[in-house]
Amino acid sequence: MLNNSEYSNQKVLVLGLAKSGVSAAKLLHRLGALVTVNDKKKFDDNKDAQALLDEGVTVITGSHPVALLDEGFTLMVKNPGIPYSNPMVVRAQELGIPVITEPELAYSVSDSSWVGITGSNGKTTTTTLIGLMLNEREGAGRAFDAGNIGIPVSGVVQKAGKADTVVCELSSFMLVGIKTLHPHIAVLTNIYEAHLDWHGSRENYVKAKMRLTMNQTPEDYFIMNWDLPEMHTLAKQSKATIVPCSRKGAAGARATLTDGWLCFDGERIMKADEMQIPGAHNIENALAAIAAAKLSGTPNEAIVDVLRRFTGVKHRIQYVTSIDGRKVYNDSKATNVEASTVALSAFKKPIVLLAGGLDRHLSMADLLPLVKQHVRAMVTFGETAPLMEQLATQAGIPFTRTANVKTAVPLAFEASQPGDVILLSPAAASWDQYPNFEVRGDEFIAAVTSYAEKKE
């Protein structure tokens, strides 16, 4: 980490805690800033705020008092999920106070090389694969996974040195709040329709994603999914060297699926069917990871070793267990239609689908062909349960509505047959019932475990 005196005695407001806010506050405090944290959760129930107070950080909880911003702050570090329409953020901007997100703060004190990964789907799997591959290099520094993967970057940069690499998953929420962040290698896995309730339009969402490359130069690399026509247009906005990836044989691609082989610059690396993770989407993730690894000097043997042993990321088409001939998968990270489309396409066996969640007033129509083709029955819950039931009716399959993921599990087994796949792939965010998709997925796994124990 750089010995950065920029923040010494600077008055900084950290708005919103959670993992990233706590980590940002601790980093700023270490750098000598005069830190105030403001979190909506009441103090008595706020262990993070209590711990920060014990460390000497000023803590204000229970509400977001706009008048607080009249106390001479020179910087706001905003929790990525807080929208720019929030009165605190609006007031900060009126006062000319810079508003950034935690990855920008971390980058400003980092002396490591960065790989940045974003996209609508596949970010975490690609981030994890790249980190694993880079850590297989001999004689190179260590790679640290960080960011939206669930590991605050401002903690990682305090451990990562000049010879190391920060492999950072960056959400669109995070990217809106960056100014100088400059990855040597950037990866855009794909862009679909997502988070429009937060960004206001698809155009704004795409603009947020493209901020990943805004500080890159021709000496840097921008890895893009060349099978999506939109990428060809977006590539013109980047000054970086474009590195196209293609599963479908797009002209000009450097990372490709060719005759069943994963290749880079025409060199065969391994057969795609030797990978442990299922689905065409994971071939795309692997190609992006291979490109990043090869550009970082990783030998083929290391790449092959990782892809042969990697079995997936938790909550992303994660194999849970087999019970009475049914294979159970947790895809709680499927918070949009596109992600569930990927999951449904990954299996050849009949599926009993558990689906539902936050209603963002988006169409579910794109799921209909796959529901007709792959789904035996559906168990629905959450705000979008009626939308999912319309799909089931159109597809001519039975459905049952229930309270939540926990109560859905036994109903899914009742609706299934030996040889089926039981799949949690909600096609919606979790926030109508759960704090995040991880909690939703953990409840599903716990319910499956409980069901298995009762069967014994």
Residue 276: CB atoms within 10 A of its CB come to 12
- Give me the mean pLDDT over the 408-426 stretch: 98
**CATH no. for 11-100:** 3.40.50.720
Which is more confident, 140 or 167?
Answer: 167
125 known ligand binder: yes
Share of the chain above pLDDT 70, in %: 100
Ranges 16-25, 71-80, 315-324: which has the least confidence = 315-324
Record the pTM. 0.81
Ranges 207-211, 317-321, 443-447: which has the least confidence = 317-321
Mean of all residue pLDDT scores within the chain = 95
CATH assignment of 318-455, among 3.30.70.360, 3.90.190.20, 3.40.50.1260, 3.40.50.150:
3.90.190.20
38 known ligand binder: no
Q: What distance in Å separates the CA atoms of residue 367 and residue 370, rounded to the nearest whole number?
A: 6
Most confident of 188-192, 194-198, 452-456: 188-192
Q: Taking a C-beta distance cutoff of 8 angstroms, is the pair 125, 187 a contact? A: no
pLDDT confidence of residue 279: 84
pLDDT confidence of residue 71: 94
96 known ligand binder: no
**CATH no. for 105-309:** 3.40.1190.10
116 known ligand binder: no
> Domain spans of the chain?
11-100, 105-309, 318-455
119 known ligand binder: yes
